[in-house]
Amino acid sequence: MANNKAAPSGGSILVVGGGISGLTTTLEAAEVGYEVFLIEKNPYLGGRVSQLKQYFPKLCPPTCGLEINFRRLKDNPNINVFTMAEVEKVEGTPGNYNVSIKLKPRYVNENCTCCGECASACKTEILNEFNFNMDKHKGAYLPHEMAFPSRYVISPQIIGSEDARLCKDACKYDAVDLDMSEKTIQISVGAIVWATGWEPYDAGKIDNLGFGKYKNIITNMMLERLASDNGLTKGKILRPSDDKEPQSIAFVQCAGSRDENHLPYCSYICCMASLKHATYIRAQYPDAKIYIFYIDLRTPGYRYEKFYKKIKEDKNTFFVKGKVAEVMEESGSGNITVVAENAVTGEKIRQTVDMAVLATGMQPTALDSKLPADLNYNEDGFIINDFEKGGMFAAGCANKTADVVSSNQNATGMALKAIQTLVRR
């Protein structure tokens, strides 16, 4: 949509969640003239996409898509962004909502130049959630190199400690404000788009796949962080237990997905994610053996099928059709054995590899933390769009499992639905 300040503006729109879907809804609505409030619970925008090394099918780094959006966001006076923000309460009806928003303190103001002196002064180290706790960062930190807004955060864990004072003293720009406190603001909007996205399914719940017991069994999202240039190993894929360069890696597809005991649905993207991961491995280890254990391979559409065919040509990538029964560690070596039954030949397979990656699926964020609004959910926790009622809509993975392209299409549609609510008022 082109920027058109003269478009009608019969109220404002609230977008909850600053991932790729929320960004898209925000920009599409703002660029035709509507005022948008975008709120994000993390200290940075970009959502899960910012944790990826590259996106399929083009394999470009997430920064290329996200940075353009951030520039559009910065240039648009119709957009009000709040990070570290969550909705507390929604009251009202379509066209007329009053929303309370809780803002958590960042303890760093807009004077921050990202010089990093506060982090150098800080002694406390805390687990780095952005890297799935595989490493630590200081109590004063930038969530990741390309974080937007590019501003440090002081963790509440060090507030009140000597470390917090050291951070403040180290800052030459008067950017550390330890007196910041939580506050609540009220806004009035005509429509709300929930773009609260997804979380990786907790692999620790899948008893037979060994996650959490053995270091060399990781998840697909952890592999993204290992392979990312701004990740804990600066992009080098290394085996977690001993930093060995892996020469064999197994992927376990449908790890917890399509399983009544876990996620009963297909997560749509994890076959493509593992195929993409095969390209990450191949780029670093030309001769490494890659084993992909699958029940069905789902690569919907022409471009994804083409991607799959290309990986299939790789002589050192082996596709094994068979449900994995167990993944375990060989004692002493740290090597991992995957046990499966080959669905084609019926034989039992035991494949020992340097490390294993569980292709875990997407669980809607709203499943475990229900949103404070009158929304309908399906049995899996995805928000159902009730277009008859209108007013509030779900975009992207808050509504269904999806890749970036489909999330963006859906988010654009929801911008239109939100605008229709305002126009019909």
Ligand X SMILES: Cc1cc2nc3c(=O)[nH]c(=O)nc-3n(C[C@H](O)[C@H](O)[C@H](O)COP(=O)(O)OP(=O)(O)OC[C@H]3O[C@@H](n4cnc5c(N)ncnc54)[C@H](O)[C@@H]3O)c2cc1C
Name the site residues for ligand SF4 (rule: CB under 6 A). Answer: 108, 112-118, 140, 152, 170-171, 173, 175-176, 253-254, 257-258, 266-268, 270-271, 296, 298, 359, 361
Q: Which is nearer to ligand SF4, 137 or 298 (CB)?
A: 298
For 58-124, the DSSP string reads: TTB-HHHHHHHHHHHHHH-TTEEEESSEEEEEEEEETTEEEEEEEE---SB-TT-----HHHHH---
Q: Which is nearer to ligand SF4, 16 or 119 (CB)?
A: 119
Nearer CB in complex with ligand SF4: 242/296: 296
Comparing CB distances to ligand X, the nearer of 41 and 168 is 41
Q: Give which of 280, 232, 303, 228 is closest to 63, Cα–Cα.
A: 228
Is 2 in a helix, a strand, or coil?
A: coil
Query: Is the CB of 34 or the CB of 132 nearer to ligand X?
Result: 132
For ligand X, the closer CB: 117 or 224: 224
Pick from ligand X, ligand SF4, none: which does 254 bind, CB < 5 to 8 A by kind?
Answer: ligand SF4
**What minimum distance in Å lies between the beta carbon of 199 and ligand X?**
7
**Which partner in ligand SF4, ligand X, none is near 258 (CB below 5 to 8 A by kind)?**
ligand SF4
- Residue 417 three-state SS: helix
**Most distant CA atoms of the chain, gap in Å:** 69
Which among ligand SF4, ligand X, none contacts residue 227 (Cβ within 5 to 8 A by kind)?
none
For residue 329, what are its two tokens? 């560690």
By a kind-dependent CB cut-off of 5 to 8 A, residue 11 interacts, out of ligand SF4, ligand X, none, with none
Cβ nearer to ligand X, comparing 108 with 269: 269
β 85-93/96-103 pair status? antiparallel
Give the 3-state secondary structure of 378-414. Answer: CCCCCEECCCCCCCEEECHHHCCCCCHHHHHHHHHHH
Q: Which does 116 bind (CB under 5 to 8 A by kind): ligand SF4, ligand X, none?
A: ligand SF4
Minimum CB separation of residue 171 from ligand SF4 in Å reads 3
Q: Do strands 153-154 and 191-194 pair parallel, antiparallel, or not at all (unpaired)?
A: unpaired
Q: Residue 99: which of 108, 81, 116, 86 has the closest Cα?
A: 86
Interaction partner, residue 367 (ligand SF4, ligand X, none; CB < 5-8 Å by kind) = none
Least distance (Å) from ligand X to the CB of residue 197?
A: 2
Q: How far is the CB of 165 from ligand X (least distance, A)?
A: 30
* Contact indicator for 195, 395 with CB cutoff of 8 Å: yes
Residue type, 233: T
At 259, phi and psi to the nearest 5?
A: -140, 120
Output the smallest distance, CB 20 to ligand X, in A.
4
| Cα–Cα distance measured from residue 236 to residue 32, given in angstroms and rounded to the nearest whole number | 43
Task: Decide whether 56 or 152 has the Cβ nearer to ligand SF4.
Answer: 152
- Are 367 and 354 in contact, with CB atoms under 8 Å apart? no
Closest separation in Å from C-beta 143 to ligand SF4: 12
CA–CA separation, 318 vs 309, rounded Å?
A: 13
Closest by alpha carbon to 51, among 242, 252, 289, 226? 226
Q: Where are the beta strands (DSSP E) in 203-261?
A: 217-219, 248-255
By a kind-dependent CB cut-off of 5 to 8 A, residue 358 interacts, out of ligand SF4, ligand X, none, with: none
Nearest-approach distance from CB 342 to ligand X, in angstroms: 25
Q: How far apart are CA 182 and CA 291, in angstroms?
A: 49
Q: Which does 222 bind (CB under 5 to 8 A by kind): ligand SF4, ligand X, none?
A: none
Bridge partners, 145 (sequence order): none
| Residue 262 Cβ vs ligand X, minimum distance, rounded to whole Å | 15
Shortest Å distance, C-beta 97 to ligand SF4: 35
To ligand SF4, the closest distance from the beta carbon of 304 in angstroms equals 10
**Residue 425 tokens, joined:** 């008022």
Residues lying near ligand X in the complex (CB under 6 A) are found at 16-22, 39-42, 47-49, 52, 55-56, 86, 195-198, 220-221, 224, 269-270, 273, 276, 362, 365, 396-397, 402-405, 407
Q: Which is nearer to ligand X, 42 or 69 (CB)?
A: 42
Q: Which is nearer to ligand X, 223 or 340 (CB)?
A: 223
Choose the contact partner of 173 out of ligand SF4, ligand X, none; CB within 5 to 8 A by kind: ligand SF4
Out of ligand X, ligand SF4, none, which partner does residue 197 contact, by CB within 5 to 8 A per kind? ligand X
